[in-house]
Structure 1
Amino acid sequence: MKEQTLVKKTLIGAYGMKIADKLKEDLQDMSNEPAPDELENKKLAMWPTTWWQQFIVLLQRGVKERKHESFSGLNIAEVLIVAVLSGLLWWKIDISHLQDQIGLLFFTSGFWGFYPLFQAIFTFPRERMMLEKERSSGTYRLSSYFISRITADLPMELILPTVFITITYWMAGLKPTATNFFHTLFVLLFSVLVSQGLGLALGAMVMDLKSATILGSVIMLTFFLAGGYYIQHVPPFIAWIKYMSISHHTYKLLLGSQYKPNETYPCGDHMKTCLIGDFQGIKSVGLNGQVVSAVALAIMLVMYRLIAYLALMRIG
């Protein structure tokens, strides 16, 4: 009996000296660790709604706001007047006036390079204060805001150029086939999205309307001059600019939508014909390499929007 009592006291003493303190520490650590349900609740507290819910709400808000800006009477009147005026100036030109035809194509690439850029360049600077306030309060993720914004802009930015090319194309007398028309339309809409992306990137990086506008003007004017219509013999040390030019790649694709290298056009008296591919205004740009220009525009389409997103991360 005495031995049992002695063993019991020994065990109690050993517990108090070596185990009790360690067990208390372990229990304290366990009490400080959040439970799985608590972790999930904290996660939900940070983002009270899912990404998809945020995207839908922001998309609906963006469409309501943008439709009044994009389809204002002034914007519609501007596009309609330019479209009708272009159709009248290039009224029913045929292949015998090849220089005039390619002039129309280059004008189209230039006008729809500048127009969407300056529509998009104001997007983020105007919304900066709202974005900072809503992001600081944890209302939504930056990615849901950005994706909803560019998605809401898509139909707004594509309707007006579609109206423009529909009017001008048939008035000007370009190739009257559905294949050529839709090819031209697709190239134009593709170019519009790229120019819009450049505007978004500039607006997000600069965030000052005046500075962004000046920078956008300089960049687009450089692209326009390097497009291949005005300057056909660019010095080698600066010729690389054309490969970065939205106007150059758009102009090349528009030429490809109307002409093939082996086609001919009247080039003199007595029914003489020449190859379209040898016409100086086309030869300097070339009708080959259409896929390369399409890929270049596709890279710009993604790259400019990625730059815009990364720039927005500075403020949210």
Structure 2
Amino acid sequence: MISKKVTHILSATAACPSKFRQPAWQQLLASEIVGRVLTMRNFAESRGRILCKMNWIQTVVLAIMTGLVWFQIPRTEEHLKDIQGWMFFSTNYWMLFALFQALGSFPEEHEVINKERASGAYRLSAYYLAKTVGELPLTITLPTIYHVISYPMLGVHSGSTFLVLLMFLLLNTVVAQSVGLFVGAVCMDLQLAITTSALYTLFTQLLAGYLVVDIPHWLTWLRHLSMIRFAYQNMQIVEFSSGVPFLCAEENSTFDTCHSSKGGDGGGGHRFIPNEAILASRGDTLPLWANTAVLIGFFLVFRILCYCVLRYLRKPNK
């Protein structure tokens, strides 16, 4: 619901003479006012949808549950997959949450946006930028709460690791929201959008590198379309490159370095697993900077595609 105050400001803006007949300083002032109003409106309207009471409860309960399930995991080879499981679960859950939250955004706002654009209240670019800025703090709030509760229960080994893992979790969430906005803008029909998104999210989970490591050779190129794959890889790189190293299994270790001569830590024949060996065991991986660049690329591409859909396929009726 659009507030009366915002409606009044936008109506007044639409009633102003054409921008080409206004002095430059008035055009800039009007654009700044409209931008602020649109940002405030998007923030206010999205707050109830994203930060509703039920989502708060769900996030806190889930964070506590995951923290208890993965509570104080030992840094040993036997528990290596458990830590990777927390990473995959966290990136996967917040991908789904952000993507499906964004699906209904444009279908709900479509009619109002078109009326205001047709009246000349603002440009689509102003609305789109305001939506991106206004919803950003809301989008990252719940994943931050989840991480602050859940990850320390696993065992924090470094403050910097804690913050960098949070950064990649939030980047993954924002990317997923961009995909959801694009799908919602293309489909408009909510049921079709949900079906399309369900197929894509299942596909991206399968190729993320946790459920299946060795996939058929002719399908390997599809892994580059899995958005959570890159966030999941980065979280592994950060986690396994810092903190307490992992100890080899006492028997039947899967790492070749653990079968070499005993010693190295005075632990009765245990050896530390090299970080490179842990990462190599998960298949082909990109360096940290490359994964980050791909995630940023996902964000930009889907945001631009979404804008193009709204600009050229969802024009207001005049």
TM-score if structure 1 supplies the norm length? 0.81
Distance 1:168 1:62 in 2: 30
**Are 1:113 and 2:111 matched, yes or no?**
no
Number of matched residues? 276
Instruction: Look up the SS of the partner of 1:239 in the other structure.
Output: helix
Distance 2:224 2:74 in 1: 30
Distance 1:39 1:94 in 2: 65
Q: Percent identity?
A: 25
Find 1:210's aligned residue among 175, 188, 191: 191
Partner of 1:277: 276
- 1:121 touches 1:199 (CA, 8 Å); kept in 2? yes
Distance 1:293 1:119 in 2: 25
Partner of 1:54: 34
Find 2:57's aligned residue among 70, 73, 77: 77
- 2:209 touches 2:283 (CA, 8 Å); kept in 1? yes
Cα deviation for residue 39 of structure 1 reads 9.0
- 1:261 touches 1:275 (CA, 8 Å); kept in 2? no
Partner of 2:133: 151
Cα deviation for residue 80 of structure 1 reads 1.0
Cα deviation for residue 288 of structure 1 reads 5.0
Cα deviation for residue 305 of structure 1 reads 0.4
Partner of 1:123: 105
Cα deviation for residue 293 of structure 1 reads 0.8
Distance 1:63 1:276 in 2: 42
Cα deviation for residue 264 of structure 1 reads 4.4
Runs of 4+ in 1 over 4 A off after TM superposition: 261-264
**Are 1:236 and 2:212 matched, yes or no?**
no
Structure-2 change in CA distance of 1:262 and 1:232 (3 Å)? farther
Structure-2 change in CA distance of 1:39 and 1:254 (3 Å)? closer
Matches within 5 A, 1:137-286: 137-173=119-155, 175-260=156-241, 264-269=245-250, 270-273=268-271, 274-279=273-278, 283-285=281-283
- 2:157 touches 2:243 (CA, 8 Å); kept in 1? no
Can you list the C-alpha shifts for 1:64-95, whole angstroms capped at 9, x where unaligned? Answer: 11112221111111111111110010011021
- 1:94 touches 1:101 (CA, 8 Å); kept in 2? no
Instruction: Look up the SS of the partner of 1:204 in the other structure.
Output: helix
Partner of 2:296: 298
Cα deviation for residue 286 of structure 1 reads 5.2
Cα deviation for residue 48 of structure 1 reads 11
Q: Structure 2 regions of 5+ residues with no counterpart?
A: 1-16, 251-267
- 2:144 touches 2:170 (CA, 8 Å); kept in 1? yes
Can you list the C-alpha shifts for 1:198-253, whole angstroms capped at 9, x where unaligned? Answer: 11111111111111111111111101110001111111111112112111101101
- 2:75 touches 2:244 (CA, 8 Å); kept in 1? no
Can you list the C-alpha shifts for 1:170-221, whole angstroms capped at 9, x where unaligned? Answer: 0112x42111100101111111111111111111111111111111111111
1:233 is matched by which residue type in structure 2? D
- 1:252 touches 1:293 (CA, 8 Å); kept in 2? yes
Partner of 1:14: none
Structure-2 change in CA distance of 1:124 and 1:90 (3 Å)? same
Cα deviation for residue 260 of structure 1 reads 2.4
Cα deviation for residue 275 of structure 1 reads 2.5
- 1:260 touches 1:287 (CA, 8 Å); kept in 2? no
Structure-2 change in CA distance of 1:211 and 1:275 (3 Å)? same
TM-score if structure 2 supplies the norm length? 0.81
Cα deviation for residue 277 of structure 1 reads 3.0
1:307 is matched by which residue type in structure 2? L
Instruction: Look up the SS of the partner of 2:246 in the other structure.
Output: strand
Distance 2:119 2:239 in 1: 53
CA RMSD in angstroms, aligned pairs only: 2.5
Which deviates the most, 177-186 or 287-296? 287-296
Distance 2:91 2:245 in 1: 24
